[in-house]
A and B are shown apart, each in its own frame.
Chain A
Amino acid sequence: MSDAVLPFEEAVAAFDPVLGLEVHVELNTVTKMFCGCATTFGAPPNSQVCPVCLGLPGALPVLNEAALTSAVRIGLALNCTIAPWCRFARKNYFYPDMPKNFQTSQYDEPIARDGWLDVELGDGTTVRVEIERAHMEEDTGKSLHVGGATGRIHGAEYSLVDYNRAGIPLIEIVTKPIEGTGARAPELARAYVSTLRDLLRALGVSDVRMEQGSLRCDANVSLRPSPQAPFGKRSETKNVNSLRSVERAVRYEITRQAAVLVSGGRVVQETRHWHEDTGVSTPGRSKEQAEDYRYFPEPDLVPIAPEPAWVEQLRATLPEPPAQRRRRLQADWGFSDKEIQDLLNAHALDLVEATIAAGAAPAAARKWWSGELARRANAGGVELDELPITPAQVAALQELVDSGRLTDSLARQVLDGVLAGEGEPGRVAAARGLEVVSDDAALGAAVERAIAANPDVAEKIRGGKVAAAGKLIGEVMKDLQGQADAARVRELVLQRLGS
């Protein structure tokens, strides 16, 4: 029983989509939001809990100062106003993965509000996405649903709850309604999450791995007949676990809602669950009334009033926004848009930057990382930064080529040696005897041997057929196992044969 959908082009021709994106970021703090339990992933169930995060009677929360710092830095990086004074609030509802049956969060007093993030689309257009707020909250425990067909909640007989993740610090970032994107809404949604992810990674506040759940996106979509009309009813789609899913889920929802509307129906305000495998979303349990969370200020935590001087200090130490950094580096290095994009796709920007810092020229650094090294990473099924070679070593390798001690092809052999753990490029070259022979006497001897072995070719060259030198050069190179500068060999051959 799948929903009817309208073809996307028709949908966006007939309706104006409005987006709202809510992103939850799991912070990479050592301990939880309100207690000193560890946050490391993959521990045995219920082994990282204490009275506080288990919600035992009598336990009390105490705020993690690193979580607050990360929250403020995120707010600053998103160009938000940091609240001079704010409180936590209790969001009250019952659910077995909630130890207290309320979530300690922030309601009408978020730590950061009214910011923006510039998002670059593939064709270079920039969209400024306005940020409504960023606030602090805690994560819930995790349930395993047992007995149903797919391990999903539907049809399960019972559930098993692990509270290790209960109390993990989260920052929720909410956009203001994103209007005017039209047919590019799905693309923008994806680009927003991707840009936000890069920013958060640059801040160092989270692992931001969607597939691991440290970055989660809920996509709100509504349609209206025209940009002048009031907002339509929106749906919220959860379980959007990758950038690709963000784009697809938004696209799907536009087509689904359009189909509802054109058939004269009403869009239901509901929460939907995305299924990446089938490319559709399904509705959650419909609620007759919106849940009443009965928010009130959390009495067990005292208000937060960040010192302005401290906030300014954090602002001063923010890393350069990724987009700005990219533009600066591209200009400095003189790369084309395609070249820089390739580097980004390969996650090689930092590596190239470090290689250049170690002395290599930009073009050469780029060539290594997006060329030979990228090939080897792909072949080995690893990330570039997992290859056992450092940017300094790449720079050293390039230096050997630049100084004429290695040809490109020899350098590739030295690279093999470095990746195999044989040591620094210079040492590998020496140990494997790969350096170019630059001693003219040795080269000259090899040239003599080639001439002696190929008298008719030598005769042709003496007669003026310079092109025939290629054969002799090839012989010399083979003789010297490639460890010669071909251009010098050519010079010697022609000299010897008097052309």
Chain B
Amino acid sequence: MTAAISREEVAHLAMLARIDLRPDELDRLAGQLDVILAAVARVREAAGEDVPATSHPMPLTNVSRPDQPRPGLTAEQALAGAPESEQQRFRVPRILEED
């Protein structure tokens, strides 16, 4: 089954992914993704209901560390790459969402 992905869907995905795509990019992407999705849709047929999913390739479990401090970064190091900083904090543009 070919999966059709519309321009509107791509726009919605771009919003979820916080990428401001231009209209021409939206069109091009929609077309390319359609082709790719058709190709990858075969995974649905390949694996039956009873096959378990594998999320981790190696069977490790229970990895943890003791609750002991480790040296971290200085504030200077942390802020070194900041596009903008103020009062030893990262300065970011106004946030729209209510938290």
- A–B contact via C-beta, under 8 angstroms: yes
- Which residues of A are at the interface with B, using a C-beta cutoff of 8 A? 29-31, 35-38, 44-51, 53-54, 62-68, 85, 87, 94-97, 143-145, 147, 153-154, 156-163, 271, 273, 284-285, 292, 294, 296-297, 299, 301-306
Mostly helix, strand, loop or mixed at chain B's interface?
A: loop
Bound Cα distance A294, B93 (Å): 26
Nearest CB in chain B: distance from A38 CB, A: 6
A50-B73 contact, Cβ under 8 Å, with A145-B95, A285-B98: yes
Q: Which residues of A contact B62 (CB under 8 A)?
A: 302-306
Q: Which residues of A contact B61 (CB under 8 A)?
A: 85, 302-305
Which residue of A94, A161, A271 is within 8 Å of B18 (Cβ)?
A94
Q: Which residues of A contact B75 (CB under 8 A)?
A: 44-47, 49
B72:A64 contact, CB within 8 angstroms: no
Q: Which residues of B contact A64 (CB under 8 A)?
A: 64-65, 67
A38:B64 contact, CB within 8 angstroms: no
Interface residues on B, range: 35 or more
Q: Which residues of A contact B91 (CB under 8 A)?
A: 158-161
Report the tally of A-B residue pairs with Cβ distances under 8 A. 140
20 contacts between A and B (CB under 8 A): A35-B70, A36-B68, A36-B72, A45-B87, A48-B72, A49-B72, A49-B73, A49-B75, A50-B70, A62-B63, A95-B97, A143-B92, A159-B94, A159-B95, A160-B89, A160-B91, A161-B89, A284-B97, A302-B61, A304-B61
Residue of A at shortest CB range from B63?
A302
Bound Cα distance A302, B64 (Å): 9
A284:B95 contact, CB within 8 angstroms: no
Bound Cα distance A228, B79 (Å): 57
Nearest CB in chain B: distance from A241 CB, A: 14
Bound Cα distance A320, B16 (Å): 47
Which residue of B60, B66, B90 is within 8 Å of A302 (Cβ)?
B60
Which residue of B60, B69, B78, B92 is within 8 Å of A36 (Cβ)?
B69
Which residue of A48, A51, A158, A285 is within 8 Å of B97 (Cβ)?
A285
Which residue of A35, A87, A305 is within 8 Å of B72 (Cβ)?
A35
Bound Cα distance A284, B96 (Å): 10
Bound Cα distance A18, B78 (Å): 46
A162-B67 contact, Cβ under 8 Å, with A45-B75, A87-B55, A302-B62: no
A49:B64 contact, CB within 8 angstroms: no
A68:B64 contact, CB within 8 angstroms: yes
Interface flag for B56 (CB, 8 Å) = yes
A46-B88 contact, Cβ under 8 Å, with A157-B94, A292-B16, A299-B55: yes
